[in-house]
Amino acid sequence: MKTSNKLLAEFFGTFWLVFGGCGSAVLASAFFAIEEQTPINLGIGLIGVSLAFGLTVLTMAFAIGHISGCHLNPAVSVGLCVGGRFKASELGGYVVAQVLGGLAGAGVLGIIASGQDGFAFSNGFAANGYADHSPGGYTLMACLVAEVVLTFFFLMIILGATDKRAPAGLAPVAIGLGLTLIHLIGIPVTNLSVNPARSTGPAVFVGGWAIQQLWLFWVAPIAGAALAGLVYPRVAGPSDS
């Protein structure tokens, strides 16, 4: 497969992840309809947003997995590289494509969201944060630990599900459900990142505090992913093939 095809696949796949996942949070997490002068919340809430993120990865894994491997995440690319599943020579191009896809997805989402009166990027725009900008008010240390641990297990799922010894054809399901699960855990803590490209897209449009806190959502996911890349081969042992 040509490198250009791989990078385009990563761009569009990451676009879909940010647009679909963050879009569900921005547009649909809380949606009120008026019935008989009474507002009724028809929004999808935390569970729906978690599922939306999982579905973006599940659908893209089937759509572009055979083209680029469907990383959609600089931390995933790093973890796979450390684990010996991905060429270091391709890492830089993948990261650039993923970040650009995340920015494009956030940009299109911003155009749609700004079509509603009262919308403002300063309201959050699904950006990740810690301390005063954590949805649940969690400390910097708590958010750091959460992002490292959740990314670690996300990569363990990816590395295990894509192992040649794993049941064939089920990796996208395991990975999509894994991402759903870690969002159910992590949204109250940091709005959940585990993905620097996902964090960068909204942060650029929010600016201010979101840019200032963005470092955590690069450092912690990459650290957790790299650790999984080291640990999984030792857990799985050598493949007979």
Give the pLDDT confidence of 25-38 residue by residue, as tens digits.
999 988 777 666 67
- Bridge partners of 40, per DSSP, are 33
Whole-angstrom distance, CA of residue 43 vs CA of residue 27: 9
Whole-angstrom distance, CA of residue 231 vs CA of residue 225: 10
pTM (predicted TM-score) = 0.93
Give the pLDDT confidence of 147-161 residue by residue, as tens digits.
999 999 999 999 999
Which parts of 64-104 are beta strand (E)?
none
Give me the mean pLDDT over the 186-205 stretch. Answer: 98
197 pLDDT band (50/70/90 cuts)?
very high
Give the pLDDT confidence of 117-167 residue by residue, as tens digits.
889 998 889 999 999 999 999 999 999 999 999 999 999 999 999 999 988
SS3 2: coil
pLDDT computed for residue 240 by the predictor: 58
Cα 158 to chain centroid distance, Å, stands at 13
Whole-angstrom distance, CA of residue 229 vs CA of residue 224: 9
Domains annotated for the chain, with CATH where assigned, are: 3-236 (1.20.1080.10)
The H-assigned helical ranges of the chain are 3-17, 23, 45-68, 74-82, 91-113, 140-161, 171-190, 196-206, 209-212, 216-236
Whole-angstrom distance, CA of residue 73 vs CA of residue 179: 12
DSSP 23-77: HIIIIISS-EEEETTEEEE---HHHHHHHHHHHHHHHHHHHHHHHH----SHHHH
Give me the mean pLDDT over the 196-208 stretch. Answer: 97
pLDDT computed for residue 49 by the predictor: 97
172 pLDDT band (50/70/90 cuts)?
very high
Give the pLDDT confidence of 96-118 residue by residue, as tens digits.
999 999 999 999 999 999 999 88
147 and 224 Cβ atoms separated by less than 8 Å: yes
Q: With a cut of 80, say whether residue 39 has pLDDT above it.
A: no
